[in-house]
Amino acid sequence: MSDIIIETRDLSRAFRVGDQEIMALDSLSLQIARGEFVGIMGPSGSGKTTLLNLLGCLDQPSSGSIVFEGQDISGLSEREIDDLRLKRMGFIFQTFNLMPTFTALENVAFPMEIAGIPRDERVERARQILKQLGLIERIHHKPRELSAGENQRVAIARALANNPSVILADEPTGNLDSRTTEEISQLLSDLNTEYRVAIILVTHDASVARAASRRLWMIDGSLGQDSD
């Protein structure tokens, strides 16, 4: 099995605004190793979220290719893409994106239900992940009854639910205070080590990016190595 889990080859994404073409990504080539934790920094509008959306199959490139676990995903059907996102990828968002009427347990179990995992198995796995993340006393609480930090922990647990190969995290600490930001950054680092899951995190916060084992800087749709 290859050590490279995701590779982009001359990846570009252009958007048309009126009569102007904006190049969000410009011939970007990148390799992410299995189990690697990569932090991508850059100012607003630099292309960070565009890159993450392409890697997560939430958008299509204008040109170039993305190879995931040795397979060029451009040749996959929509159904195969959905299956790839469900079973091989986890997502963490700044706004948590939890189901507001579901409890923490139900939010974490839901991706496993879609994947066809039997009820007893998915409930037990959801309980175990939430326990590991320090939320066993909160599993029957809904998002409105939890703090921002607790909601992000639930979202992280949900991202781990189907044992993904990679987790894509888009500004996961953007709505958190400084103390909780530090806790979540350390948690992601710990989970990367324990689960050997690759994490690709985009952030404008250098202190968050320091949790990563490799840091990249993005500007004007291009990547460079962080000098820190």
Decide if pLDDT at 107 tops 60.
Answer: yes
Mean pLDDT of 184-202: 94
**Could you give the domains of the chain?**
36-60+77-225 (3.40.50.300)
Sign of the CA dihedral with 55 first, then 60, 66, and 68 last = positive
Q: Tell me, what's the pLDDT at 3?
A: 92
Decide if pLDDT at 194 tops 60.
Answer: yes
Decide if pLDDT at 216 tops 50.
Answer: yes
Model confidence pTM above 0.85: yes
Decide if pLDDT at 227 tops 50.
Answer: no
Mean pLDDT of 90-111: 96
Decide if pLDDT at 226 tops 70.
Answer: no
